[in-house]
Structure 1
Amino acid sequence: MHGSTGDDCVVLAGVDGSASALHAAVWAAAVAARRDAVLRLVHAYVVPAPGVSRISVTTVREGFRSRAESWVAEASAAVLAQWPSLRIERVVVEGSPVGVLLRESAGAEVVVLGSRGLGGFTGLLVGSTAVSLVAHAQCPVVVVRGRRPDDVPAVAGPVLVGLDGSPDSTDALGYACEEAAARGTTLIAVHTWNEITPEGRLRLAGSEADVAAERRLVDEQLAPWRDKFPELAIEVEVVRGRPVRTLLERGGGAQLVVVGSRGRGGFTGMLLGSTSQALLVHSACPVAVVRQGSRS
Protein backbone atom coordinates (compact mmCIF):
# COMPACT_ATOMS: atom_id res chain seq x y z
CA MET A 1 0.00 0.00 0.00
CA HIS A 2 1.19 3.49 -0.81
CA GLY A 3 -0.21 5.31 2.19
CA SER A 4 0.40 4.10 5.70
CA THR A 5 -2.15 6.35 7.36
CA GLY A 6 -5.44 8.00 6.50
CA ASP A 7 -3.64 11.36 6.17
CA ASP A 8 -1.60 10.29 3.15
CA CYS A 9 -3.90 7.65 1.69
CA VAL A 10 -5.66 8.79 -1.51
CA VAL A 11 -8.12 6.98 -3.75
CA LEU A 12 -8.29 8.60 -7.19
CA ALA A 13 -11.40 8.59 -9.40
CA GLY A 14 -11.65 9.98 -12.93
CA VAL A 15 -14.83 11.97 -13.52
CA ASP A 16 -16.28 12.99 -16.90
CA GLY A 17 -20.03 13.45 -16.51
CA SER A 18 -20.98 9.97 -17.73
CA ALA A 19 -23.10 7.46 -15.82
CA SER A 20 -20.17 5.03 -15.97
CA ALA A 21 -17.81 7.52 -14.31
CA LEU A 22 -20.42 8.34 -11.68
CA HIS A 23 -20.65 4.65 -10.75
CA ALA A 24 -16.86 4.57 -10.62
CA ALA A 25 -16.74 7.55 -8.25
CA VAL A 26 -19.23 5.91 -5.88
CA TRP A 27 -17.31 2.61 -6.09
CA ALA A 28 -14.08 4.47 -5.33
CA ALA A 29 -15.75 6.19 -2.39
CA ALA A 30 -16.51 2.80 -0.84
CA VAL A 31 -12.83 1.88 -1.17
CA ALA A 32 -11.81 5.20 0.39
CA ALA A 33 -14.25 4.70 3.27
CA ARG A 34 -12.85 1.24 4.03
CA ARG A 35 -9.29 2.56 3.97
CA ASP A 36 -10.02 5.81 5.86
CA ALA A 37 -8.67 7.56 2.78
CA VAL A 38 -9.26 10.81 0.94
CA LEU A 39 -11.30 10.48 -2.26
CA ARG A 40 -9.81 12.66 -4.98
CA LEU A 41 -12.20 13.35 -7.87
CA VAL A 42 -10.30 14.37 -11.00
CA HIS A 43 -11.36 15.78 -14.34
CA ALA A 44 -8.88 16.85 -17.01
CA TYR A 45 -9.85 18.54 -20.24
CA VAL A 46 -8.13 19.67 -23.41
CA VAL A 47 -9.25 22.94 -24.97
CA PRO A 48 -9.38 22.58 -28.77
CA ALA A 49 -7.23 24.83 -30.91
CA PRO A 50 -9.04 27.97 -32.12
CA GLY A 51 -10.72 27.62 -35.49
CA VAL A 52 -12.66 30.03 -37.65
CA SER A 53 -15.24 30.64 -34.91
CA ARG A 54 -15.49 34.14 -33.50
CA ILE A 55 -15.79 32.70 -30.01
CA SER A 56 -12.64 33.57 -28.09
CA VAL A 57 -10.31 30.94 -26.68
CA THR A 58 -10.91 32.42 -23.24
CA THR A 59 -14.66 31.89 -23.59
CA VAL A 60 -14.15 28.30 -24.73
CA ARG A 61 -11.72 27.63 -21.88
CA GLU A 62 -14.15 29.05 -19.33
CA GLY A 63 -16.92 26.88 -20.77
CA PHE A 64 -14.84 23.72 -20.51
CA ARG A 65 -13.84 24.50 -16.94
CA SER A 66 -17.40 25.34 -15.88
CA ARG A 67 -18.71 22.08 -17.33
CA ALA A 68 -15.88 20.13 -15.67
CA GLU A 69 -16.59 21.70 -12.29
CA SER A 70 -20.28 20.84 -12.56
CA TRP A 71 -19.44 17.20 -13.35
CA VAL A 72 -17.09 16.96 -10.39
CA ALA A 73 -19.68 18.60 -8.15
CA GLU A 74 -22.29 16.06 -9.32
CA ALA A 75 -19.97 13.16 -8.50
CA SER A 76 -19.16 14.70 -5.11
CA ALA A 77 -22.85 15.04 -4.28
CA ALA A 78 -23.52 11.41 -5.23
CA VAL A 79 -20.68 10.26 -2.98
CA LEU A 80 -21.67 12.43 -0.01
CA ALA A 81 -25.24 11.15 -0.23
CA GLN A 82 -23.86 7.76 0.86
CA TRP A 83 -20.75 8.78 2.83
CA PRO A 84 -21.49 12.24 4.26
CA SER A 85 -18.30 12.34 6.35
CA LEU A 86 -15.92 11.17 3.62
CA ARG A 87 -13.06 13.54 2.88
CA ILE A 88 -13.20 14.65 -0.77
CA GLU A 89 -10.75 16.63 -2.88
CA ARG A 90 -11.80 18.06 -6.25
CA VAL A 91 -9.24 18.48 -9.02
CA VAL A 92 -10.20 20.20 -12.28
CA VAL A 93 -7.26 20.85 -14.57
CA GLU A 94 -6.52 21.61 -18.20
CA GLY A 95 -4.33 18.90 -19.65
CA SER A 96 -4.18 15.42 -21.14
CA PRO A 97 -6.49 13.13 -19.13
CA VAL A 98 -4.03 10.25 -19.24
CA GLY A 99 -1.10 12.51 -18.37
CA VAL A 100 -2.98 14.02 -15.44
CA LEU A 101 -4.05 10.62 -14.11
CA LEU A 102 -0.51 9.28 -14.43
CA ARG A 103 0.83 12.23 -12.47
CA GLU A 104 -1.85 11.93 -9.81
CA SER A 105 -1.26 8.18 -9.49
CA ALA A 106 2.14 8.85 -7.93
CA GLY A 107 0.52 9.52 -4.56
CA ALA A 108 -2.56 7.30 -4.82
CA GLU A 109 -3.57 3.89 -3.56
CA VAL A 110 -5.58 3.15 -6.69
CA VAL A 111 -6.92 4.88 -9.81
CA VAL A 112 -10.60 4.14 -10.50
CA LEU A 113 -12.26 4.72 -13.88
CA GLY A 114 -15.58 4.06 -15.54
CA SER A 115 -15.62 1.59 -18.42
CA ARG A 116 -16.58 4.26 -20.92
CA GLY A 117 -17.22 7.96 -20.76
CA LEU A 118 -17.68 11.39 -22.20
CA GLY A 119 -15.66 14.58 -22.31
CA GLY A 120 -11.98 14.41 -21.52
CA PHE A 121 -11.97 10.71 -20.73
CA THR A 122 -13.65 9.55 -23.96
CA GLY A 123 -11.95 6.47 -25.34
CA LEU A 124 -9.82 6.05 -22.25
CA LEU A 125 -10.01 2.29 -22.56
CA VAL A 126 -9.43 2.05 -26.29
CA GLY A 127 -6.11 0.97 -27.74
CA SER A 128 -2.83 2.50 -26.69
CA THR A 129 -4.39 4.92 -24.19
CA ALA A 130 -5.45 2.13 -21.85
CA VAL A 131 -2.20 0.26 -22.29
CA SER A 132 -0.25 3.44 -21.51
CA LEU A 133 -2.23 4.16 -18.35
CA VAL A 134 -1.98 0.63 -17.02
CA ALA A 135 1.67 0.23 -18.04
CA HIS A 136 2.83 3.43 -16.37
CA ALA A 137 0.43 4.20 -13.51
CA GLN A 138 2.24 4.10 -10.18
CA CYS A 139 -0.62 2.28 -8.44
CA PRO A 140 -3.24 -0.32 -9.39
CA VAL A 141 -5.91 0.72 -11.91
CA VAL A 142 -9.55 -0.36 -11.57
CA VAL A 143 -12.11 -0.22 -14.37
CA VAL A 144 -15.61 -0.21 -12.90
CA ARG A 145 -18.49 -1.79 -14.80
CA GLY A 146 -21.52 -4.01 -14.34
CA ARG A 147 -22.94 -6.60 -16.70
CA ARG A 148 -23.45 -3.76 -19.14
CA PRO A 149 -21.14 -0.72 -19.20
CA ASP A 150 -23.57 1.66 -17.52
CA ASP A 151 -24.95 -0.84 -14.96
CA VAL A 152 -24.28 -0.39 -11.27
CA PRO A 153 -21.37 -2.73 -10.36
CA ALA A 154 -21.91 -5.74 -8.14
CA VAL A 155 -21.20 -5.28 -4.44
CA ALA A 156 -21.59 -8.93 -3.42
CA GLY A 157 -19.75 -12.11 -4.32
CA PRO A 158 -16.12 -13.21 -4.07
CA VAL A 159 -12.96 -11.48 -5.29
CA LEU A 160 -11.25 -13.36 -8.14
CA VAL A 161 -7.54 -13.20 -8.90
CA GLY A 162 -5.77 -14.68 -11.90
CA LEU A 163 -2.53 -16.46 -10.96
CA ASP A 164 0.29 -17.78 -13.13
CA GLY A 165 3.33 -17.69 -10.83
CA SER A 166 4.73 -14.48 -12.35
CA PRO A 167 5.87 -11.47 -10.26
CA ASP A 168 2.99 -9.41 -11.66
CA SER A 169 0.41 -11.96 -10.57
CA THR A 170 2.03 -12.08 -7.11
CA ASP A 171 1.47 -8.33 -6.76
CA ALA A 172 -2.07 -8.83 -8.04
CA LEU A 173 -2.54 -11.52 -5.40
CA GLY A 174 -1.46 -9.14 -2.63
CA TYR A 175 -3.94 -6.51 -3.80
CA ALA A 176 -6.69 -9.12 -4.13
CA CYS A 177 -6.06 -10.39 -0.59
CA GLU A 178 -6.31 -6.85 0.80
CA GLU A 179 -9.55 -6.19 -1.07
CA ALA A 180 -11.19 -9.51 -0.17
CA ALA A 181 -10.23 -9.11 3.51
CA ALA A 182 -11.50 -5.52 3.60
CA ARG A 183 -14.79 -6.57 1.98
CA GLY A 184 -15.24 -9.59 4.27
CA THR A 185 -15.58 -11.97 1.34
CA THR A 186 -13.89 -15.05 -0.12
CA LEU A 187 -10.89 -14.88 -2.42
CA ILE A 188 -10.89 -17.29 -5.35
CA ALA A 189 -7.51 -17.87 -6.96
CA VAL A 190 -7.93 -18.93 -10.58
CA HIS A 191 -5.15 -20.63 -12.52
CA THR A 192 -5.57 -21.88 -16.08
CA TRP A 193 -3.51 -24.31 -18.07
CA ASN A 194 -3.60 -25.92 -21.50
CA GLU A 195 -1.68 -28.45 -23.55
CA ILE A 196 1.22 -26.09 -24.31
CA THR A 197 3.44 -25.36 -21.30
CA PRO A 198 5.17 -21.96 -20.83
CA GLU A 199 8.35 -23.73 -22.06
CA GLY A 200 6.58 -24.78 -25.28
CA ARG A 201 6.26 -28.43 -24.28
CA LEU A 202 3.22 -30.42 -25.41
CA ARG A 203 1.59 -32.31 -22.56
CA LEU A 204 -1.19 -34.84 -22.43
CA ALA A 205 -4.59 -33.26 -21.95
CA GLY A 206 -6.08 -34.15 -18.61
CA SER A 207 -2.91 -35.70 -17.17
CA GLU A 208 -3.36 -36.01 -13.42
CA ALA A 209 0.35 -35.35 -12.92
CA ASP A 210 0.11 -32.08 -14.85
CA VAL A 211 -2.97 -30.96 -12.93
CA ALA A 212 -1.22 -31.77 -9.65
CA ALA A 213 1.86 -29.83 -10.78
CA GLU A 214 -0.27 -26.81 -11.66
CA ARG A 215 -1.98 -27.03 -8.28
CA ARG A 216 1.39 -27.09 -6.50
CA LEU A 217 2.40 -23.96 -8.38
CA VAL A 218 -0.67 -22.14 -7.10
CA ASP A 219 -0.28 -23.46 -3.56
CA GLU A 220 3.34 -22.27 -3.44
CA GLN A 221 2.34 -18.82 -4.64
CA LEU A 222 -0.51 -18.66 -2.11
CA ALA A 223 1.40 -19.94 0.92
CA PRO A 224 2.86 -16.64 2.21
CA TRP A 225 -0.45 -14.86 1.69
CA ARG A 226 -2.36 -17.49 3.64
CA ASP A 227 0.03 -16.77 6.50
CA LYS A 228 -0.39 -13.00 6.14
CA PHE A 229 -4.20 -13.21 5.97
CA PRO A 230 -5.03 -16.18 8.24
CA GLU A 231 -8.71 -15.22 8.58
CA LEU A 232 -9.25 -14.88 4.82
CA ALA A 233 -11.08 -17.75 3.11
CA ILE A 234 -9.09 -18.63 -0.03
CA GLU A 235 -10.36 -21.10 -2.61
CA VAL A 236 -8.36 -22.41 -5.55
CA GLU A 237 -9.59 -23.28 -9.04
CA VAL A 238 -7.17 -24.93 -11.46
CA VAL A 239 -8.92 -24.98 -14.81
CA ARG A 240 -7.99 -26.24 -18.25
CA GLY A 241 -8.70 -23.41 -20.67
CA ARG A 242 -7.89 -19.84 -21.57
CA PRO A 243 -7.39 -17.27 -18.79
CA VAL A 244 -9.65 -14.51 -20.10
CA ARG A 245 -12.53 -16.83 -20.95
CA THR A 246 -12.23 -18.51 -17.56
CA LEU A 247 -12.13 -15.22 -15.66
CA LEU A 248 -15.08 -13.87 -17.65
CA GLU A 249 -17.09 -16.98 -16.80
CA ARG A 250 -16.15 -16.97 -13.10
CA GLY A 251 -16.51 -13.19 -12.89
CA GLY A 252 -20.24 -13.40 -13.51
CA GLY A 253 -20.84 -13.92 -9.80
CA ALA A 254 -17.91 -11.89 -8.46
CA GLN A 255 -17.60 -8.30 -7.20
CA LEU A 256 -14.03 -7.79 -8.43
CA VAL A 257 -11.55 -9.50 -10.77
CA VAL A 258 -7.84 -8.80 -10.21
CA VAL A 259 -5.06 -9.50 -12.70
CA GLY A 260 -1.42 -8.56 -13.18
CA SER A 261 -0.50 -6.31 -16.07
CA ARG A 262 1.51 -9.04 -17.72
CA GLY A 263 2.58 -12.54 -16.84
CA ARG A 264 3.82 -15.79 -18.26
CA GLY A 265 2.15 -18.85 -19.63
CA GLY A 266 -1.59 -18.39 -19.96
CA PHE A 267 -1.56 -14.79 -18.80
CA THR A 268 1.22 -13.50 -21.09
CA GLY A 269 0.24 -10.19 -22.68
CA MET A 270 -2.96 -9.97 -20.64
CA LEU A 271 -3.20 -6.26 -21.37
CA LEU A 272 -2.04 -6.21 -24.96
CA GLY A 273 -4.38 -6.41 -27.92
CA SER A 274 -7.65 -8.31 -28.00
CA THR A 275 -7.03 -10.15 -24.71
CA SER A 276 -7.20 -7.03 -22.60
CA GLN A 277 -10.12 -5.64 -24.53
CA ALA A 278 -12.09 -8.83 -23.88
CA LEU A 279 -11.63 -8.60 -20.12
CA LEU A 280 -12.12 -4.85 -19.78
CA VAL A 281 -15.03 -4.63 -22.21
CA HIS A 282 -16.93 -7.80 -21.35
CA SER A 283 -16.33 -8.38 -17.64
CA ALA A 284 -19.54 -8.44 -15.60
CA CYS A 285 -17.82 -6.77 -12.64
CA PRO A 286 -15.00 -4.30 -11.94
CA VAL A 287 -11.50 -5.29 -13.09
CA ALA A 288 -8.33 -4.30 -11.21
CA VAL A 289 -5.01 -4.34 -13.05
CA VAL A 290 -1.90 -4.42 -10.87
CA ARG A 291 1.50 -3.71 -12.40
CA GLN A 292 4.54 -5.25 -10.75
CA GLY A 293 5.90 -2.86 -8.14
CA SER A 294 2.87 -0.56 -8.24
CA ARG A 295 1.89 -1.47 -4.66
CA SER A 296 5.25 -0.53 -3.10
Structure 2
Amino acid sequence: MDRPVVAGVDGSPPSLVAAEHAARAAVRRGRPLHLVHGYLHALGYGVPVDPYELGVPAPSADGRAMLERTAAELAARWPGLSVQVRQVAGGPAATLVEESGRAELVVVGSRGLGGFAGLLLGSVSTQVAGHARCPVLVVRPAERPVQGAAEAPVVVGVDGSEPARLAVTLAAEEAARRGAGLVLVHAEAAEQGAGETDLLGAAAAEVRGRHPGLAVEQRPVRASAPQQVLVEASGRAGLLVVGSRGRGGFAGLLLGSVSQAVVQHAHCPVLVVHQHGS
Protein backbone atom coordinates (compact mmCIF):
# COMPACT_ATOMS: atom_id res chain seq x y z
CA MET A 1 0.00 0.00 0.00
CA ASP A 2 1.46 3.35 -1.08
CA ARG A 3 0.55 5.28 2.07
CA PRO A 4 0.93 9.06 1.63
CA VAL A 5 2.52 11.62 3.89
CA VAL A 6 -0.38 13.79 5.09
CA ALA A 7 -0.09 17.40 6.24
CA GLY A 8 -2.82 19.49 7.81
CA VAL A 9 -2.87 22.92 6.12
CA ASP A 10 -5.07 25.91 6.97
CA GLY A 11 -2.96 28.77 5.60
CA SER A 12 -1.44 29.72 8.98
CA PRO A 13 2.36 30.04 9.31
CA PRO A 14 2.65 26.88 11.48
CA SER A 15 0.70 24.84 8.93
CA LEU A 16 2.82 26.11 6.03
CA VAL A 17 5.97 25.12 7.91
CA ALA A 18 4.36 21.71 8.47
CA ALA A 19 3.67 21.42 4.74
CA GLU A 20 7.34 22.10 3.98
CA HIS A 21 8.49 19.42 6.44
CA ALA A 22 5.88 17.04 5.00
CA ALA A 23 7.18 17.60 1.48
CA ARG A 24 10.73 16.78 2.59
CA ALA A 25 9.49 13.68 4.41
CA ALA A 26 7.55 12.53 1.35
CA VAL A 27 10.59 12.98 -0.90
CA ARG A 28 12.84 11.06 1.51
CA ARG A 29 10.35 8.19 1.66
CA GLY A 30 9.37 8.20 -2.00
CA ARG A 31 5.72 8.76 -1.05
CA PRO A 32 2.99 11.05 -2.38
CA LEU A 33 2.05 14.13 -0.36
CA HIS A 34 -1.56 14.86 0.57
CA LEU A 35 -2.44 18.35 1.84
CA VAL A 36 -5.68 18.25 3.84
CA HIS A 37 -7.79 21.09 5.20
CA GLY A 38 -10.40 20.17 7.83
CA TYR A 39 -12.49 23.30 7.42
CA LEU A 40 -15.11 22.99 10.19
CA HIS A 41 -14.61 24.65 13.56
CA ALA A 42 -13.47 22.12 16.14
CA LEU A 43 -16.39 22.89 18.50
CA GLY A 44 -19.14 23.68 16.02
CA TYR A 45 -18.91 20.64 13.73
CA GLY A 46 -20.62 22.73 11.05
CA VAL A 47 -24.06 22.61 12.66
CA PRO A 48 -25.96 25.85 11.87
CA VAL A 49 -27.22 28.06 14.66
CA ASP A 50 -30.74 27.72 13.24
CA PRO A 51 -31.77 24.08 13.94
CA TYR A 52 -34.08 24.13 10.92
CA GLU A 53 -31.12 24.77 8.59
CA LEU A 54 -29.68 21.28 8.61
CA GLY A 55 -26.62 20.27 6.68
CA VAL A 56 -22.88 20.75 6.51
CA PRO A 57 -21.31 23.86 4.95
CA ALA A 58 -19.68 23.37 1.56
CA PRO A 59 -15.91 23.81 1.24
CA SER A 60 -14.86 27.35 0.41
CA ALA A 61 -13.22 28.58 -2.76
CA ASP A 62 -10.67 30.44 -0.62
CA GLY A 63 -9.71 27.22 1.14
CA ARG A 64 -9.29 25.39 -2.15
CA ALA A 65 -7.19 28.22 -3.57
CA MET A 66 -4.96 28.20 -0.48
CA LEU A 67 -4.39 24.44 -0.81
CA GLU A 68 -3.68 24.61 -4.53
CA ARG A 69 -1.27 27.53 -4.08
CA THR A 70 0.63 25.64 -1.38
CA ALA A 71 0.72 22.48 -3.50
CA ALA A 72 2.03 24.38 -6.52
CA GLU A 73 4.83 25.97 -4.49
CA LEU A 74 5.92 22.61 -3.05
CA ALA A 75 5.74 20.83 -6.40
CA ALA A 76 7.91 23.58 -7.94
CA ARG A 77 10.54 23.15 -5.22
CA TRP A 78 10.57 19.35 -5.43
CA PRO A 79 10.03 18.30 -9.06
CA GLY A 80 8.60 14.80 -9.27
CA LEU A 81 6.78 15.08 -5.94
CA SER A 82 3.15 14.00 -6.32
CA VAL A 83 0.90 16.42 -4.40
CA GLN A 84 -2.85 16.09 -3.91
CA VAL A 85 -5.16 18.47 -2.05
CA ARG A 86 -8.47 17.91 -0.34
CA GLN A 87 -10.91 19.81 1.87
CA VAL A 88 -12.75 17.72 4.46
CA ALA A 89 -15.95 18.59 6.33
CA GLY A 90 -14.50 17.98 9.78
CA GLY A 91 -12.59 19.59 12.62
CA PRO A 92 -8.82 19.87 12.04
CA ALA A 93 -7.78 17.33 14.70
CA ALA A 94 -10.54 14.82 13.92
CA THR A 95 -9.77 15.06 10.21
CA LEU A 96 -6.07 14.31 10.68
CA VAL A 97 -6.74 11.45 13.10
CA GLU A 98 -9.08 9.93 10.50
CA GLU A 99 -6.49 10.43 7.75
CA SER A 100 -3.82 8.78 9.91
CA GLY A 101 -5.45 5.39 9.43
CA ARG A 102 -4.40 5.50 5.77
CA ALA A 103 -1.15 7.48 6.07
CA GLU A 104 2.54 6.69 6.31
CA LEU A 105 3.08 9.85 8.38
CA VAL A 106 0.93 12.77 9.52
CA VAL A 107 2.58 16.19 9.84
CA VAL A 108 0.93 18.94 11.85
CA GLY A 109 1.99 22.44 12.81
CA SER A 110 2.03 23.69 16.38
CA ARG A 111 1.85 27.24 17.61
CA GLY A 112 4.10 26.18 20.46
CA LEU A 113 2.35 28.05 23.27
CA GLY A 114 2.96 25.30 25.81
CA GLY A 115 2.34 25.96 29.47
CA PHE A 116 -0.22 24.34 31.75
CA ALA A 117 -3.22 25.73 29.88
CA GLY A 118 -1.97 24.17 26.66
CA LEU A 119 -1.51 20.79 28.29
CA LEU A 120 -4.89 20.95 30.00
CA LEU A 121 -7.01 22.05 27.07
CA GLY A 122 -5.08 20.38 24.32
CA SER A 123 -4.53 21.67 20.79
CA VAL A 124 -4.76 20.21 17.32
CA SER A 125 -1.16 19.00 17.50
CA THR A 126 -1.62 17.55 20.98
CA GLN A 127 -4.80 15.73 20.02
CA VAL A 128 -3.38 14.32 16.80
CA ALA A 129 -0.16 13.23 18.53
CA GLY A 130 -2.22 11.46 21.20
CA HIS A 131 -4.78 9.70 19.00
CA ALA A 132 -3.26 9.06 15.56
CA ARG A 133 -2.88 5.58 14.09
CA CYS A 134 0.48 6.25 12.46
CA PRO A 135 3.60 8.25 13.38
CA VAL A 136 2.99 12.00 13.80
CA LEU A 137 5.53 14.74 13.13
CA VAL A 138 4.79 17.93 15.10
CA VAL A 139 6.60 21.04 13.86
CA ARG A 140 6.46 24.74 14.59
CA PRO A 141 8.13 27.86 13.21
CA ALA A 142 11.58 27.57 14.77
CA GLU A 143 14.80 29.49 15.08
CA ARG A 144 16.65 26.91 12.98
CA PRO A 145 15.68 26.84 9.26
CA VAL A 146 14.33 23.56 7.88
CA GLN A 147 17.44 23.15 5.72
CA GLY A 148 19.79 23.52 8.69
CA ALA A 149 17.72 21.20 10.85
CA ALA A 150 18.40 18.30 8.49
CA GLU A 151 22.09 18.42 9.40
CA ALA A 152 21.58 18.18 13.17
CA PRO A 153 21.36 14.76 14.89
CA VAL A 154 18.23 12.76 15.53
CA VAL A 155 17.64 12.29 19.28
CA VAL A 156 15.51 9.49 20.73
CA GLY A 157 14.55 8.54 24.28
CA VAL A 158 15.40 5.01 25.47
CA ASP A 159 13.73 3.37 28.47
CA GLY A 160 13.44 -0.32 27.58
CA SER A 161 9.70 -0.23 26.87
CA GLU A 162 8.13 -1.52 23.67
CA PRO A 163 7.07 2.01 22.56
CA ALA A 164 10.64 3.22 23.11
CA ARG A 165 12.09 0.30 21.13
CA LEU A 166 9.83 1.18 18.22
CA ALA A 167 10.88 4.81 18.57
CA VAL A 168 14.55 3.83 18.36
CA THR A 169 13.86 1.81 15.19
CA LEU A 170 12.12 4.73 13.48
CA ALA A 171 14.69 7.25 14.74
CA ALA A 172 17.52 5.19 13.25
CA GLU A 173 15.69 4.96 9.92
CA GLU A 174 15.12 8.71 9.90
CA ALA A 175 18.75 9.45 10.78
CA ALA A 176 19.88 7.18 7.92
CA ARG A 177 17.54 8.97 5.49
CA ARG A 178 18.92 12.36 6.54
CA GLY A 179 22.57 11.34 6.65
CA ALA A 180 22.59 12.55 10.26
CA GLY A 181 23.86 11.04 13.50
CA LEU A 182 21.68 9.32 16.08
CA VAL A 183 21.77 10.16 19.81
CA LEU A 184 20.29 7.65 22.26
CA VAL A 185 19.27 9.34 25.51
CA HIS A 186 18.36 7.55 28.74
CA ALA A 187 17.35 9.45 31.88
CA GLU A 188 18.46 7.36 34.85
CA ALA A 189 17.88 7.99 38.52
CA ALA A 190 20.84 8.07 40.90
CA GLU A 191 19.86 4.73 42.47
CA GLN A 192 19.77 2.85 39.16
CA GLY A 193 22.46 0.31 38.51
CA ALA A 194 24.32 -1.08 35.54
CA GLY A 195 21.28 -3.09 34.42
CA GLU A 196 19.44 0.11 33.55
CA THR A 197 22.49 1.72 31.99
CA ASP A 198 22.92 -1.34 29.74
CA LEU A 199 19.68 -0.35 27.99
CA LEU A 200 21.68 2.16 25.97
CA GLY A 201 24.31 -0.38 24.99
CA ALA A 202 21.74 -2.90 23.86
CA ALA A 203 19.84 -0.29 21.86
CA ALA A 204 23.05 0.98 20.23
CA ALA A 205 24.12 -2.55 19.27
CA GLU A 206 20.77 -3.24 17.64
CA VAL A 207 20.90 0.01 15.69
CA ARG A 208 24.46 -0.62 14.47
CA GLY A 209 23.44 -4.10 13.35
CA ARG A 210 20.75 -2.64 11.12
CA HIS A 211 22.61 0.51 10.05
CA PRO A 212 26.37 -0.26 10.09
CA GLY A 213 27.41 3.15 8.77
CA LEU A 214 25.29 5.20 11.15
CA ALA A 215 27.06 7.31 13.78
CA VAL A 216 25.45 6.43 17.14
CA GLU A 217 26.05 8.27 20.41
CA GLN A 218 24.96 6.93 23.81
CA ARG A 219 24.01 9.60 26.32
CA PRO A 220 23.06 8.53 29.87
CA VAL A 221 21.77 11.44 31.96
CA ARG A 222 21.15 11.52 35.71
CA ALA A 223 17.65 12.95 36.09
CA SER A 224 14.29 12.05 37.56
CA ALA A 225 12.13 13.58 34.81
CA PRO A 226 12.74 12.13 31.31
CA GLN A 227 10.67 14.82 29.62
CA GLN A 228 13.00 17.55 30.93
CA VAL A 229 16.03 15.66 29.65
CA LEU A 230 14.50 15.23 26.20
CA VAL A 231 13.35 18.85 25.96
CA GLU A 232 16.86 20.01 26.84
CA ALA A 233 18.40 17.63 24.28
CA SER A 234 16.01 18.93 21.62
CA GLY A 235 17.80 22.29 21.63
CA ARG A 236 20.69 20.72 19.71
CA ALA A 237 18.68 18.27 17.60
CA GLY A 238 17.19 18.30 14.13
CA LEU A 239 14.49 15.86 15.24
CA LEU A 240 13.35 14.40 18.57
CA VAL A 241 11.67 10.98 18.51
CA VAL A 242 9.52 9.66 21.36
CA GLY A 243 7.36 6.60 21.83
CA SER A 244 3.69 6.84 22.71
CA ARG A 245 1.96 4.50 25.11
CA GLY A 246 -1.28 4.51 23.28
CA ARG A 247 -4.50 6.08 22.45
CA GLY A 248 -4.55 9.06 24.77
CA GLY A 249 -8.07 10.01 25.78
CA PHE A 250 -9.10 12.77 28.12
CA ALA A 251 -7.07 11.46 31.06
CA GLY A 252 -3.96 11.36 28.89
CA LEU A 253 -4.47 14.93 27.74
CA LEU A 254 -5.26 16.17 31.22
CA LEU A 255 -2.42 14.53 33.09
CA GLY A 256 0.14 14.62 30.34
CA SER A 257 2.81 12.04 29.49
CA VAL A 258 6.42 12.21 28.39
CA SER A 259 5.41 12.40 24.74
CA GLN A 260 2.69 15.02 25.31
CA ALA A 261 4.99 17.20 27.41
CA VAL A 262 7.76 16.97 24.82
CA VAL A 263 5.36 17.91 22.01
CA GLN A 264 4.45 21.05 23.94
CA HIS A 265 7.94 22.21 24.87
CA ALA A 266 10.59 20.80 22.50
CA HIS A 267 12.84 23.16 20.55
CA CYS A 268 12.83 21.08 17.35
CA PRO A 269 10.30 18.96 15.43
CA VAL A 270 9.01 15.95 17.38
CA LEU A 271 8.16 12.57 15.88
CA VAL A 272 5.61 10.78 18.09
CA VAL A 273 5.71 7.09 17.20
CA HIS A 274 2.54 5.04 16.83
CA GLN A 275 2.35 1.68 15.09
CA HIS A 276 0.35 1.82 11.87
CA GLY A 277 -3.26 0.98 12.58
CA SER A 278 -2.77 0.87 16.37
Match of 1:261 in 2: 244
Radius of gyration: which is bigger? 1
Q: What SS class does the counterpart of residue 253 from structure 1 fall into? A: coil
Of 60, 68, 71, the residue aligned with 2:66 is 71
Where do 1:177-196 residues align within 5 Å? Answer: 177-195=172-190
Q: Distance in 2 between matches of 1:69 and 1:24?
A: 18
Q: Distance in 2 between matches of 1:40 and 1:29?
A: 9
The superposition leaves residues 84-127 of structure 1 with CA deviations (integer Å, 9 ceiling, x where unpaired) of: 3210111111123233222221221110000139xxxxx99952
Q: Is 2:17 the counterpart of 1:20?
A: no
Q: Is 2:95 the counterpart of 1:138?
A: no
Q: Distance in 1 between matches of 2:68 and 2:200?
A: 45
**Contact residue 261 and residue 271 of structure 1 kept, 8 A:** no
Percent identity, aligned pairs only, is 43
**Contact residue 162 and residue 247 of structure 1 kept, 8 A:** yes
Q: Distance in 2 between matches of 1:74 and 1:277?
A: 32
**Contact residue 21 and residue 116 of structure 1 kept, 8 A:** no
Match of 2:150 in 1: 155
Of 218, 227, 234, the residue aligned with 1:251 is 234
Letter of the 1:282 partner, please give it.
Answer: H
Shift of 1:211: 5.3
Q: 1:39 to 1:139 in 2, by over 3 A?
A: same
The superposition leaves residues 12-63 of structure 1 with CA deviations (integer Å, 9 ceiling, x where unpaired) of: 11101111110110111011111111001111122643347xxx889x934x
The superposition leaves residues 136-181 of structure 1 with CA deviations (integer Å, 9 ceiling, x where unpaired) of: 3221011012446xx7443320000011000000111111011000
Where do 1:32-181 residues align within 5 Å? Answer: 32-46=26-40, 48-51=46-49, 61-62=57-58, 64-116=59-111, 126-127=121-122, 132-147=127-142, 152-153=145-146, 154-181=149-176
Q: What SS class does the counterpart of residue 280 from structure 1 fall into? A: helix
Match of 1:266 in 2: none
Q: Distance in 2 between matches of 1:128 and 1:23?
A: 17
TM-score normalized by structure 1?
Answer: 0.77
Q: Distance in 2 between matches of 1:129 and 1:21?
A: 11
Q: Distance in 2 between matches of 1:271 and 1:145?
A: 22
Task: Indicate the RMSD between aligned Cα atoms, in angstroms.
Answer: 3.1
* Matched length: 259
Letter of the 1:100 partner, please give it.
Answer: T
Q: Distance in 1 between matches of 2:140 and 2:48?
A: 36
Letter of the 1:249 partner, please give it.
Answer: E
Which stretches in structure 1 are left out of the alignment for 5+ residues? Answer: 118-122, 196-202, 204-209, 264-268
**Contact residue 214 and residue 238 of structure 1 kept, 8 A:** no
The superposition leaves residues 233-259 of structure 1 with CA deviations (integer Å, 9 ceiling, x where unpaired) of: 111100011212211221112110000
Shift of 1:224: 2.5
